[in-house]
Amino acid sequence: MWCVLKKYLFIFMGGAGTNSGKERCIVHCPELDQIVIGVPDMKKAIEVAKEFAEKVEAIELCGYFGKEGRDVEVAKALGTKFRVGAVKYVTD
């Protein structure tokens, strides 16, 4: 079933020194707000996901987090049936 989101969070891995308080923006579209936040590591990604879980309808991780089920790790940390996905690359 297709679901139209109104607001979602995209978390990208910016590497060491990335400040999630500064490396963030909101992309406003007529029917969607996309919040984009950079984090230095997985630990901070989970903190950011928890911070925004009540404010967005879904969370997506960038492909740089890897294929090891990091989206599942974030979903478990939220402790709900929250929509968490991840960008995957066919060539990885």
pLDDT at 2: 52
User: Domain total for the chain?
Assistant: 1
- Please give the pLDDT value at position 3: 61
The candidate with the shortest Cα–Cα distance to 36, out of 6, 60, 5, is: 60
What is the predicted pLDDT for the residue at 51?
A: 93
Q: Is residue 91 part of a domain?
A: no
Which structural domain range is residue 38 located in?
Answer: 7-86
> Which CATH number is 72's domain given?
3.40.50.10330
In a domain, 92, yes or no: no
Q: What is the pLDDT of residue 4?
A: 76
Burial class (CB in 10 A: 0-12, 13-18, 19+), 48: buried
For the chain, what is the radius of gyration of the CA atoms? 13
Residue 74 forms part of a structural domain: yes
Residue 1 pLDDT > 50: no
Tens of pLDDT, residue by residue over 69-83, are: 777 788 888 887 778
Q: Give domain status of residue 36, yes or no.
A: yes
The whole-number pLDDT of residue 55 equals 92
69 part of a folded domain: yes
Assigned domain for 82 exists? yes
Distance CA 18, CA 14 (A): 6
